[in-house]
Amino acid sequence: MKKSQASRPPARLLLGPGPSNVHPRVLEAMAQPLLGHLDPAFLALMDETQQRLRRLFGAENHALTLPLSATGSAGMEACFANLLLPGDAAVVGVAGVFGERMCEVARRCGADVTRVDAEWGDALSAAAMGSAIARVQPRLVALVHAETSTGVLQPVEEIAATANAAGAFTVLDCVTSLGGMPLRLDAWGIDAAYSATQKCLSCPPGLSPLSFSPRAMAFVRERRRPVQSWYLDVSLLAGYYGGEARRYHHTAPVSAIYALAEGLRIVEEEGIEARAARHRQAADALLESLAPLGFEPLVSEVALRLPPLTTLRLPRLISGANNEAQLRARLLHEHGIEVGGGLGALEGKVWRIGLMGENARLEAVERLEAALHTLLTS
């Protein structure tokens, strides 16, 4: 029988905001025969995976670290659903799409949300967050470490210190930072954090690494009103992922765990510091190579630029019949390269170029530069 078209995807270089390309070793791991999710051989792999996640998160002292069976947004939902009770005050830093999404999720948990906004392309003001925290005395303070919609790194340590001093839980979105830069959840005083596998870990989408501090777990175990979501209740997930009994909660996605385990081995073989340096070098090379075509960084302050995701203002060359959406389509169809468009207020004004995980390499930058050169100057 002939293979169907759908089972043979075209070759793509994925330089958008995620997913990124997957290492061949990870693809091979996923093709291994299944084990039962309670098989001792699988449980050993689960132990290894959780241990590697703890190290990568810098969360050795956290009470529970696990790969949640869903994408990054479910990790976000898990943090808010477990740590908020209806009527609780929450302070959320909003500097892009994912801060907005946090507000919506917190509201749906019944929280009274105070948002602290920053211009898109800017960092949150730690002082503004501090005065909101002092004013509303929230149960929870949330922010995004690496805002993928704008390409800005946010001031986590300062804000977390203020939240801790006020006795609030701190929730951190690490979706685009885990695997691309060192994280220190314990040292920063983060109570709940989540990530996703398809960005700097270079695994397929589908899992959300999640980590809860002892204080956060104690709160969930002691809350009288059960967590509204059965699936995301970390006190129930602990029955399987907590390590001791490994009781059935839901069927762990076995092949996806094979992939993540291999992806995390690759990260540790390289070392997170070397990996972070590679992301910075690739992002620097990208800015340098596209500058002659007229692309300029949206984020002016160098220290705020997010190495895995660079937001570029579009040159005047890209307009009218040669508009940005058409140009992205041509990049995809004629050169096999995917890049991201702008979101929200930045739609049509910027491109978002991800150099994440396996793709944070000069070869990727060179391929993009050559393709754009062909499209824009011939």
Ligand X SMILES: *Cc1c(COP(=O)(O)O)cnc(C)c1O
Which chain residues interact with ligand X by CB under 6 A? 18, 71-73, 98, 144, 146, 148, 173, 175-176, 196, 205
Contact of 206 with 199, CB cutoff 8 Å: no
Exposure b/e, 136-174, CB count within 10 A at least 16 = b: bebbbbbbbbbbbbbbbbbbbebbbebbbebebbbbbbb
CB of 185 to ligand X, least distance (A): 16
Residue in this structure with the two tokens 């991800």, named with its chain if needed: 354
Rounded to a whole number of angstroms, the minimum distance from the CB of residue 186 to ligand X is: 21
63 vs 153, which CB is nearer to ligand X?
153
Q: Which residue is nearest to ligand X (CB)?
A: 72
We find the least distance from the C-beta atom of residue 237 to ligand X, in angstroms, to be: 18
Q: How far is the CB of 330 from ligand X (least distance, A)?
A: 25
Residue 146 CB, nearest distance to ligand X (Å)? 6
**Please, are residues 169 and 191 in contact by the beta-carbon 8 Å criterion?**
yes
d(CA 318, CA 290): 13
Task: List CB contacts of 240: < 8 A, sequence separation 6 or more.
Answer: 246, 247, 248, 249, 252
Residue 96 contacts residue 147 (beta carbons within 8 Å): yes
Distance (Å, whole) CA 228 – CA 85: 9
Residue 295 and residue 286: Cα distance in Å, rounded? 10
User: Which residues, 6 or more positions from 106, have their beta carbon under 8 angstroms from its beta carbon?
Assistant: 80, 84, 90, 92, 113, 140, 142
Closest CB to ligand X among residues 79, 264: 79
Reference 44, options 239, 246, 210, 196; nearest CA is: 246
CB of 61 to ligand X, least distance (A): 24
What number of H helices and E strands is found in the chain?
A: 13, 14
Under 8 Å between Cβ of 196 and 175: yes
Least Å distance between CB 151 and ligand X? Answer: 11
Question: Least CB distance from residue 97 to ligand X, whole Å?
Answer: 8
**Strands (DSSP E) along the chain, which ranges?**
13-15, 64-68, 89-94, 112-117, 140-144, 146-147, 152-153, 169-173, 192-194, 208-212, 296-297, 309-313, 337-341, 350-354
Task: Name the residue nearer to ligand X (CB basis): 56 or 318.
Answer: 56
Choose between 21 and 148: whose C-beta lies nearer to ligand X.
148
What separation, in Å, do the N-terminal and C-terminal C-alpha atoms of the chain show?
43
Minimum separation from the CB atom of position 377 to ligand X (A): 32
Which lies closer to ligand X via its Cβ, residue 175 or residue 355?
175
Nearer of residues 111 and 142 to ligand X, judged by Cβ = 142
Closest alpha carbon to 269 in 198, 185, 202: 202
Cα 70 from Cα 51, distance rounded (Å)? 19
Backbone angles phi, psi at 6, to 5 degrees: -65, -25
Nearer to ligand X, 118 or 175 (CB): 175
282 or 375: CB nearest ligand X = 282
Whose tokens are 């060192």? That residue is 182
Nearest residue (CB) to ligand X, 205 versus 315 = 205
Q: How far is the CB of 71 from ligand X (least distance, A)?
A: 3
**Quick one: 81 or 372, whose CB is closer to ligand X?**
81
